[in-house]
Amino acid sequence: MLKNTKRWASALCLGLLLPAVSTLAQVNDKLPDPDGKPADMSKPVQVFLIMGQSNTLEMGNVTGDKPGALEKTMKEEGLYPFLVDDAGNWTTRQDVRNVSVMMKKDNMNVYRNEWLSVIDGKSGKPKGKIGIEIGIGNALGNAIDAPVMLLKSSIGNRGLGWDLLPPGSERYEYQMPDPKTKEMKTYIFPGYKDEVRHASWEKGTTPEPPTHNWYAGKQWDDDITNAKKVLASFSEYYPGATKYEVAGFIWWQGDKDRYNEGHAARYGKNLHTLFDALRKEFNAPNAKFVLATLGQTSNDSASGNEKLIFEGMQAFASDPALKGKVALVYSYPMVSPPGASNAHYGGSAKTYMNVGLSLGQAMADLLKADK
């Protein structure tokens, strides 16, 4: 059903994660309408933590004539029929909870605490924008017979190599051109909780102290703290729930890191540290990890820092020690119309639905393999 067959062929040849890539059209065709019934609450709620930067937020237009707008795409291409019932009304999943939190002025702001739907839980009207959570939640809700919670804790313009640097990250050296003179120099990059003003400094110099309340990994601390606050008051966010387990982590990030060669070159190693830290923080030794590549990065034409990040993701996902624990979704063929992460894919809800469905299906496949 996806029109851009050339880009999809590229994905199939890549072979990064064939189940997620090759079954997206099938998911669009075959995913049933939600039955509107609550999940079996005798089972622990399966929590999936969504993290990253602005591409994990709600950036896809629901209405309007812009390419990729949700209503326009559904009407013209027949995609995502499970989002509406036979009468054409937006469906709501009573078995998937959609919770989104974000740090705002040093306090947790809860901007979603509702059942999964295109309908806004407060106003009862269609949302102006959606994100990957709609696709993820429908794929997981269909695949899992237990209650599901999507817990999104993220904010825009954050880098894994600096703002989201996880515990266990140590200082390192990296040679790269000086931004002004282009002369090759050695730079020091901070470790977790290093209180420095900049994300790197020239070796042999003293790093400047921070001028505000920031340090390497501050956003990690904020996002993890917020997620734990939700879990500590779980019944406020999943009505009727008494028990849960963190089953997986979903990550879509990398845009900010592509502006710093030292961060881009370290991306794969930082992913390893990130995964280990997440499992430890949430006492989830068996939780799975699914991530998506940047949508503008092609396997056959990637260059510069984007290529370094792409290769880092590939190396992480193909590590034999992580087999069955990690999956990588190649998102380039799913971006429609073509667009870039720093422009939020032009507000294309089709892109966010495609990537979300694939992330959700990839997670479901990892969980199924354990059964």
Read off the pLDDT of residues 49-85 as tens digits, 9 standing for 90 and up.
999 999 999 999 999 999 999 999 999 999 999 999 9
pLDDT at 1 exceeding the cut of 50: no
Please give the pLDDT value at position 6.
36
* Tokens found for residue 358: 């694939």
Structure tokens at 171: 């200082």
Q: What is the share, in percent, of the chain residues with pLDDT greater than 70? A: 92
State how far the Cα of 78 lies from the Cα of 74, in Å rounded to an integer: 5
Q: Is the pLDDT of residue 194 over 70?
A: yes
Cα–Cα distance between 191 and 170 in angstroms, integer?
4
Pick the CATH number of 5-155+237-369 from 3.40.630.20, 3.40.50.1110, 3.40.50.720, 3.30.465.10: 3.40.50.1110
pLDDT at residue 351 tops 80: yes
Looking at residues 203-221, what average pLDDT do you find? Answer: 94
Record the tokens describing residue 22, joined without a space: 């090759």
pLDDT of residue 25: 54
Residue 27: which pLDDT band, with cuts at 50, 70 and 90?
low
At 181, is the secondary structure helix, strand, or coil?
coil
Q: In sequence order, which ranges of 246-348 are alpha helices (DSSP H)?
A: 261-265, 267-281, 304-317
Q: With H, G, I as helix, E, B as strand and everything else as coil, classify residue 341.
A: helix
Residue 105: the pLDDT is 75
Distance CA 24, CA 333 (A): 11
Q: What is the pLDDT of residue 88?
A: 94
Cis peptide before 337 (omega within 30 of 0): yes
Flag whether pLDDT at 26 surpasses 90.
Answer: no
DSSP label of 293? -
Residue 24 predicted with pLDDT over 70: no
Tokens 């009304």 correspond to 89
Q: What is the pLDDT of residue 163?
A: 97
pLDDT class of 137 with cuts at 50, 70, 90 = very high
**Residue tagged 């937020």 (tokens):** 57
- Please report which helix (H) or strand (E) contains residue 201, including its range: strand 201-202
**pLDDT score, position 3:** 29
Return the residue matching tokens 């996902």: 317
| Mean pLDDT, range 28-40, rounded to an integer | 85
pLDDT band at 211 (very low <50, low <70, confident <90, very high): confident
Count CA within 13 A, CB hemisphere, residue 324: 6
**Mean pLDDT score, 129-142:** 97
Q: Of 20-24, 32-36, 270-274, where does mean pLDDT reach its minimum?
A: 20-24
Give the mean model confidence (pLDDT) for residues 210-235.
95
- Residue 192: helix, strand or coil by DSSP? coil
**CA 359 to chain CA centroid, nearest Å:** 8
> What is the model's pLDDT at position 90?
97
Q: What is the mean pLDDT of residues 103-130?
A: 94
The answer to whether the CB of 356 falls within 8 A of the CB of 135 is: yes
pLDDT category at 28 given cuts 50, 70, 90 is: low
For 160-178, the pLDDT digits (tens) are 999 999 999 999 999 999 9
- Beta-bridged to residue 177, according to DSSP, are 184
Q: What is the pLDDT of residue 5?
A: 32
Mean pLDDT over all residues of the chain? 91
pLDDT of residue 14: 41
Give per-residue pLDDT as tens, 276-326.
Answer: 999 999 999 999 999 999 999 999 999 999 999 999 999 999 999 999 999
The pLDDT, as a whole number, for residue 13 is 35
Distance CA 183, CA 180 (A): 8
